[in-house]
Amino acid sequence: MNKKLGMAEFFAMEAGEYLERLDALVSGSGVPDPPEFQRLTRALRGAALMANQHAIAQAAGALEQLARTVREGQRPWGEATRQLATRAVDDLKIFVRRIQNWTDDDTAKARDLAAQLEAITGRPSRPVRKSVAGPDSGTRAFVAREGASLASALDRAGKALAQNPLAHDPLQAVLNVMQPLRGLASLQDLPPMSDLLEGIEWAVAEAGRGPHPKPEAPDVFDAAARALSHAAREIASDGKADIESDPVRQFAELLGRLLQLDRPVAPIESLYYDDAGPHIVEQGTPPEEGPVLGEVDLVSHGDHLKQVAEALDEAATPTQRTFRVYALAETLRALEESRGGSLVRAAGEFARAVKDAIGRGTALSDPAAFSQRLREASNALSAAAGGAEEALAGKLREVAAALSGAPAAEAAEAVAEVVPPPATPAVAPAAGETEGPGLSGSLMRYWRYVEALGLEGASLDELIAGPPADPGAAAPAEPAAPVAVAQVEAEVIPITALCYSGPAALERAISLRDQVTSAIASGVDATDLIEEVFDLVQLGLATDR
């Protein structure tokens, strides 16, 4: 009997391919292609999350953050970065080979690797730990020196932005000066330094985003300089800093304005004249701009929501909770501005509800309830790879309604009737199809592995039949009397009845426009999609004649 390809074996083979490509990419003498570096690390993390290998996913996520800093120019690619990335890839290979005999010690090693990468890239995913002992004199002197240097860079950036709002060189200088503090091993034990550095990075990213100037940016960088300088002096003199000091709280307040998280969503009724109307004369068309989110992206955003919820639970003060909530800004923007199916649209509604809760103050007035809502949304997004899109979209809308204070019944009315998706036949993909990082790409790789190794593929009949019978269980009793079964003559249905025709064929052709555009923009061969469009047009025209 052929051996079946299980989840662990499939993940090991899929992750092994990603790691071999990463090894070739980062071990070369030249600079690796930054977009490809980030794409492969993201695909590796997504595969680990889908396979329930969370420790490996955390380490892969930290490596993805390293790739992101290289791509965005925050960290130059030099010999030190190359050795760091190569060592991380080698460790991940060892982790993948050990998944069949995984132990708690392996989990600890994977988390240590993630912590090392996070400390270097400056994006720790775990909450701040409470320090038992204060920092030594060397650490105090280092924080004082580097804090003063960074505060000076922030002050220069604020003045430069006041004169030229589109100046980007001062922003890059801030990131460069920040690196020594980011690499401090005990940074997590020196609140609020970690939160301040996180906030400064968000401010730099927001100030440099898009072609339009941010009028709030000069004041934000000026406040960041004062907050960091104040905290560094307190750590140097007393060994600890006051998280609730006026400079830190003022920086948190101004940062919320820059990130546009300090005000609630304006209700559409407030934009009307105070009369009988009519106020809306025709239904609008949603914009078609923005990236398309796939299953891996949704799972990734769900994982980030869970991390923010955990960090929010561990926050010790109101200002610290404010900074932890601001960590949602990038994910909320991605969910709100992206395109996709019903689950992506529901995720956009959830993102707007979160921003509204932050702006109204309810997120911070009841942080326990807010973090619970984040976990509920995280569970829905993390299950995106498993299907049931309409059901998951309904859960997200319920969470959005709870955040806005609407009754659950109103959320239920907004959810369309859930129709189970049609069963997907277990057939190998057609030749020439691209193996992407999403669920469809994983399916293609699965069948390639099955064919190459001569394994037995998954059986739909076995899934429908349910689990095998327990050999020790008693045999079922025979029925007292035979049950009559009507013999139904199967009606032969012509194949043309299953094809698109007439206006339906033309509508289907038009619906493929976004897929063709996205494939061409990303460099993917769109020949098959274009051929499908022509076939559908031909079916539509043939029926009209």
Give one DSSP letter per residue of 360-410, joined into a string.
HTHHHHSHHHHHHHHHHHHHHHHTGGG--HHHHHHHHHHHHHHHHT--HHH
Q: Percentage of the chain with pLDDT > 70?
A: 70
Domain that holds residue 387: 295-313+329-414
Residue 319 lies in a domain: no
How many C-beta atoms lie closer than 10 Å to residue 3's C-beta? 10
Residue 161 lies in a domain: yes
Phi and psi for 119 in degrees, rounded to 5?
-65, -35
The domain boundary, picked from 414, 436, 463, lies at: 414
Residues 43, 76 contacting (CB under 8 angstroms): no
Confidence band, pLDDT 50/70/90 cuts, at residue 107: confident
| pLDDT score, position 226 | 95
The domain boundary, picked from 67, 95, 121, lies at: 121
* SS3 of 260-283: CCCCCCCCHHHHCCCCCCCCCCCC
The domain boundary, picked from 390, 414, 438, lies at: 414
Residue 79 lies in a domain: yes
Please check the confidence at residue 467 and state whether its pLDDT lies above 60.
no
Answer yes or no: do 103 and 20 share one domain: yes
Answer yes or no: do 30 and 110 share one domain: yes
25-29, 430-434, 461-465, range with the lowest pLDDT: 430-434
d(CA 118, CA 184): 11
Please check the confidence at residue 372 and state whether its pLDDT lies above 80.
yes
111-115, 119-123, 255-259, range with the lowest pLDDT: 119-123
Answer yes or no: do 50 and 103 share one domain: yes
Answer yes or no: do 187 and 243 share one domain: yes
| pLDDT score, position 307 | 86
Q: Which long-range contacts (CB under 8 A, 24 or more apart) does 25-33 make?
A: 26/82, 26/85, 26/86, 26/89, 27/82, 27/86, 27/89, 31/77, 32/70, 32/77
Residue 187 lies in a domain: yes
What mean pLDDT comes out for the span 530-541?
78
Answer yes or no: do 16 and 117 share one domain: yes
What mean pLDDT comes out for the span 112-134?
61
Of 306, 140, 360, 371, the C-alpha closest to 234 is 140
Answer yes or no: do 112 and 152 share one domain: no
**DSSP E strands: which ranges in 180-234?**
none
Answer yes or no: do 357 and 398 share one domain: yes
Residue 320 lies in a domain: no
Answer yes or no: do 178 and 237 share one domain: yes
Residue 167 lies in a domain: yes
Answer yes or no: do 24 and 108 share one domain: yes
Write down the mean pLDDT value for the chain: 76
Please check the confidence at residue 531 and state whether its pLDDT lies above 70.
yes
Residues 202, 325 contacting (CB under 8 angstroms): no
d(CA 418, CA 51): 26
Answer yes or no: do 96 and 205 share one domain: no
Radius of gyration of the chain (CA): 27
Please check the confidence at residue 424 and state whether its pLDDT lies above 60.
no
Total domains, the chain: 4
d(CA 395, CA 298): 14
Q: Which long-range contacts (CB under 8 A, 24 or more apart) does 204-212 make?
A: 204/171, 204/174, 204/175, 205/330, 206/258, 206/259, 206/329, 207/161, 207/171, 207/258, 208/168, 208/171, 211/166
DSSP code at position 475: P
Answer yes or no: do 345 and 385 share one domain: yes
Residues 175, 253 contacting (CB under 8 angstroms): no
Confidence band, pLDDT 50/70/90 cuts, at residue 463: low
Residue 527 lies in a domain: yes
| pLDDT score, position 455 | 63
Please check the confidence at residue 200 and state whether its pLDDT lies above 70.
yes
Residue 426 lies in a domain: no
Please check the confidence at residue 334 and state whether its pLDDT lies above 80.
yes
Q: What's the pTM value of the predicted model, to 2 decimals?
A: 0.52
d(CA 162, CA 426): 61
Give residue 193's identity as a one-letter amino acid code. Answer: M
Answer yes or no: do 390 and 335 share one domain: yes
